[in-house]
């Protein structure tokens, strides 16, 4: 069953999280964590997001994001795709 459509609002706060496939690790070391934080910073530049908090675990992450524009889905697609490509290229 597909996920229902996410409603997006300007000036909204979202708790977002993502986990690796089959709960596999998405951060193997500090280099991966720096890659992710760089990509998150780039996503903020592209979207205008403000990140208020984050935690990076071995197989997932959580972020508290404020979106000035209703662009959470587009920004998350860019972030996930960019980090995944960088992670897979590194290995």
Domain definitions of the chain by residue range: 12-90
Percent of the chain surpassing pLDDT 70? 98
pLDDT digits over 39-52, tens only? Answer: 999 999 999 999 99
Indicate whether 75 pLDDT > 70: yes
Give Cα separations from 47 to 25, 59, 70, 73, 91 (angstroms): 27, 25, 9, 11, 28
pLDDT digits over 15-34, tens only? Answer: 999 999 999 999 999 999 99
Indicate whether 1 pLDDT > 70: no
Q: What is the pTM of this model?
A: 0.90
Indicate whether 82 pLDDT > 90: yes
Q: Which of these, 14, 65, 60, lies nearest to 44 by C-alpha position?
A: 65
Percent of the chain surpassing pLDDT 90? 88
Phi and psi, residue 5, nearest 5° = -65, 135
Which CATH number does 12-90 carry? 3.30.70.1290
């Amino acid at each position: 069953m597909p996920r229902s459509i996410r409603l997006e609002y300007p000036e909204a706060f979202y708790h977002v999280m993502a986990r690796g496939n089959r709960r596999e690790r998405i951060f193997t070391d500090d280099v991966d964590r720096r890659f992710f934080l760089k990509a998150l910073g780039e996503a903020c530049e592209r979207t205008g997001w403000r990140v208020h908090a984050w935690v990076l675990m071995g197989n997932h992450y959580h972020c508290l994001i404020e979106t000035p524009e209703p662009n959470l889905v587009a920004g998350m697609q860019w972030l996930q795709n960019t980090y995944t490509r960088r992670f897979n290229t590194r290995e």
